[in-house]
A and B are shown apart, each in its own frame.
Chain A
Amino acid sequence: MEFFKYKHSLDFMGKSKIAMTISIVLILASYAILAIKGLNYGIDFAGGTIVQIKYDTKAPIKEMREQLKGNKLFDNASITEFGSPDEVVIRMKTTTKNVTQDIGDVTREALKNTGNFEIRRVDIVGPKVGNELKEKGLMALFLSVAAILVYVAFRFEWRFAIASIVALIHDVSIAMGAVALFNIDVNLDVLAAILTLLGYSLNDTIIVFDRIREGIVKSKNVNLAEIINESVTRTLARTTLTSLTTFFVVFTLFMFGGEIIHAFAFTLLVGIIVGTYSSIFVASPILMLFGFDVKKYHIKLAEKAKHEAEKERMRAQFESGVM
């Protein structure tokens, strides 16, 4: 089977204006959502308490609210369904410092008249730990972007590095916009998904860039747009296939992986789609935008080769001289 058999280059660069418009609209929409709705920080970062309860039958949310009303510990608590009608989580902004008095036990006692249930999870994150996790999370995000930037600049050229980072920002922004739009709790797992997305989206971009680099070095053609078109077309099969296999597994994770993994899978799912799109339509036009000059690069390469050859010759001379 063959989806994309290479016959001639497809004109991706000719469509770059449309692609850029779509991207800018998506990014602006994401920032608007982030600004208006804001991210819904979960307890990992905001601190708070979560109690997950599973009933034998459909959870009597109304009755639960009734029972918890008036109890100071549950002020401003929200009760929502979690994955299935039998299961609910109670979310609270407050935390307790007391080791022996447990909110799980308190909840069990308070809800004892609402039916048969089991408390399956109690998470408490104090404000101090929440802040620390937030700091560490941001640090991780920043560091990985920086490390990747350095690596790409070292392996390719600085314009490639900038272009790939722009593509990354594009992907992460839209993924975060989707996370905000769908009210997903931002916890450590979403951060992990974002970091994975960084690696993944870059992976895609690099494969394309590697082809462009190869095209620049090998071909006599100095028209960057044409080289990009050919490279993107030639890697199109790979880009789609790997995205497809990754999409398969993330999709099964999203569908069957359970409620706890949902946020992670969702973020990645959006990320993979956007990341695939960006490595085809976004990363390369930016390379053009930064004015990458193939001719100059050829000259630089030639000089580098000459320099190497010179060094080689000197070494040979030196060695034979010594002998």
Chain B
Amino acid sequence: MRLNYRIVIFALAIVFGVVFSVPSLLQMQDGKKITLGLDLQGGLHMLLGVKTDEALKSRIKSIAASIKHFADRNDILIDGLTFDENSVRFEVLDSDEIKSFNEFSSKIDGAKIVTNGSVISILFTPQEIEKIKKLAITQAIETIRNRLDQFGLSEPIVARQGEEKILVELAGIKTPEEEQRARELISRAAKLELMAVDEDRNARVYNMSDTDAALYGDVILSDAKNPKIKYLVHEIPILDGSMLTNANVGFDQNNRPVINFKLNAEGAEMFGDFTGKNVGKRLAIVLDEKVFSAPNINERIGGGAGQISGNYTVLEAKDLAIALRSGALLAPIYLMEKRSVGPSLGADSIKASMVALIGGFILVIVFMIIYYRMAGVIANIALVANLFILLAVMSLFGATLTLPGMAGIVLTVGMAVDANVIITERIRELIHEGKSMHKAIEDGYANAMRAILDANITTLIASIVLYVYGTGAIKGFAITMSIGILASMLTAILGTHGIYQMLESKMNKSKNYRFWFGIKG
């Protein structure tokens, strides 16, 4: 027995493989581990799109609200305040006030102000529209991430995919109810608006159509608890949820859960001003286009605190508070792709692929020993080392093991012995030609090397392309294949060569070709 550099490197590689794959194999608490993909542990994968046009619309609406407030506060008479997809228009009745309005409007980011006589139009430049749409996506990602962070699942993934898609991955969802909660939390607009009830016309609300309401600058909204109850409210809100600073679950006098919210200074001022001027009228608290309550205003309400009461459970109230706290979605989101796997199916997949892995592994190992004898044993050592190194590298990178990834490992078992098959066949050939044991081994490795390299590199090319263009679980397949191929170069070429060199003196003495290579000399 003689040590050589190959066997030392091989031994180090095995130690590396075992040490770093142990945390994954034993599912230890500490250490870097392979994470199971959603298809194996169960979970929810979604690709979401953002309706960015809606973001623009709500931005316009909020500008209209602030113009209305500015006019009311400064006692400027304006008329015909309307808005469409990308502009706000109104007429200033006192032409002396146009200047002060222009000053106010110029503070609005990215807006273009066109004055035509006494009519002022505020519109957005195409660049600004683009910016608002982009912001809507970024904001949606932030908001969804914030909400899910508070939801209580471990490590939710929220990421941008491509230009305008949002990837959401939630592992460890156990029940359909939990999934439903998560989906509701993600998609809830959580757009809070405080709106003024149009008391002059509200009595006629049940005889009005949406177009009738629009004539007066109003909209018809239904009650959250009882959709039959309708309210006629001014379309331009008093203020919206962007001025919210906090929202928490509390309880009302009947011990029912409510949500207490707090407004920032600006919102508190707007709220105070409005309530001061509208005592005796009603204020509608509107969440996602539904009226949750419409209390009478008894006096000016300062301090900017409010309450949303509804017919919800504590859990619902909690999720709603999370949604409000993390802010409204500037634009609604929609589903582009969804893949949800129940935990029992994931467990079944793990079981089935483990059976395949172990079954295939045993078949290969036994076959190699029967066919090649000692050379087969050596190839098997390389194969086992290969699997450990594969797991270790995946653990170190924190790679995700998917079902196709498992298939990749199974395939690696079949293909990793290829290098040793090529080498051993070469050695056998050289022995048949009458070469000495030493010469046969060295020349065998030398001759086989080029073929192994070329063959592996082409397989690697296919795997890399698959990784770059593959999506989701398929990427996992490409990763395991690639690492498996690279590891096999180390174990099957270098490692087994080292073992042969170490055993060489023994082999030379024995001359038992049947034992060493499974052939008659």
Contact = CB atoms under 8 A, between A and B. Distances in A.
| Max chain B C-beta neighbours (<10 A), residue from A52, A98, A100 | A100
A14 interface: no
B342 A120 contact: yes
B5 interface: no
A124 B363 contact: no
Contact of B187 (A96, A100, A151, A256): A100
A131 to B, nearest CB: 11
B474 A189 contact: yes
B342 A246 contact: no
B187 A52 contact: no
Contact of B363 (A97, A119, A249): A249
Interface stretch (A62-70, A202-210, A297-305, A307-315): A202-210
Nearest to B418: A242
Contact of A260 (B186, B403, B458): B403
A104 B340 contact: yes
Interface string A115-145: 0001111111110110001001101100110
B227 to A, nearest CB: 17
A249 B360 contact: yes
Given A147-B465, A238-B425, A248-B414, A120 B341 contact: yes
A210 B426 CA distance: 13
A258 B352 contact: yes
B48 A99 contact: yes
Given A242-B418, A258-B353, A199 B462 contact: yes
B164 to A, nearest CB: 11
A188 to B, nearest CB: 5
Nearest to A261: B407
B337 A129 contact: yes
Contact of B461 (A118, A128, A148, A261): A148
Contacts of A204: 455
Interface string B344-361: 110011001101100111
A249 B411 contact: yes
Contact of B451 (A96, A126, A210, A248): A210
A192 interface: yes
Interface in A214-268: 214, 234-235, 237-238, 241-242, 244-253, 255-258, 260-261, 264-265, 268
B414 A99 contact: no
| Max chain B C-beta neighbours (<10 A), residue from A5, A139, A256 | A256
B470 A102 contact: no
A44 to B, nearest CB: 9
B61 to A, nearest CB: 23
Nearest to A129: B337
Contacts of B183: 99-100, 102
Contacts of A191: 474
A246 B205 CA distance: 74
Interface residues of A, number: 81
Contact of A249 (B370, B413, B474): B413
B477 to A, nearest CB: 5
A157 interface: no
Nearest to A208: B451
Interface in B465-505: 465-466, 468-474, 477-478, 481
Interface in B442-475: 447, 450-451, 454-463, 465-466, 468-474
Contacts of B108: none
A159 interface: no
Interface in B348-387: 348-349, 352-353, 355-356, 359-361, 363-364, 367-368, 370-372
B117 interface: no
Given A97-B334, A99-B183, A195-B466, A118 B342 contact: yes
A152 interface: yes
B458 A203 contact: yes
Contacts of B345: 52, 54, 120-121
A11 interface: no
B336 A248 contact: no
Contacts of A235: 425
B344 A261 contact: no
B79 interface: no
Interface of A: 1-2, 5-6, 52, 54, 95-100, 102, 104-105, 108, 118-126, 128-129, 133, 136-137, 139-140, 143-144, 147-148, 151-152, 155, 188-189, 191-192, 195-196, 198-200, 202-204, 206-207, 210-211, 214, 234-235, 237-238, 241-242, 244-253, 255-258, 260-261, 264-265, 268
21 contacts: A5-B432, A54-B344, A97-B335, A100-B180, A100-B183, A120-B341, A123-B340, A129-B47, A140-B470, A143-B465, A195-B465, A202-B462, A203-B415, A203-B455, A210-B450, A238-B425, A242-B418, A251-B360, A252-B359, A261-B356, A264-B407
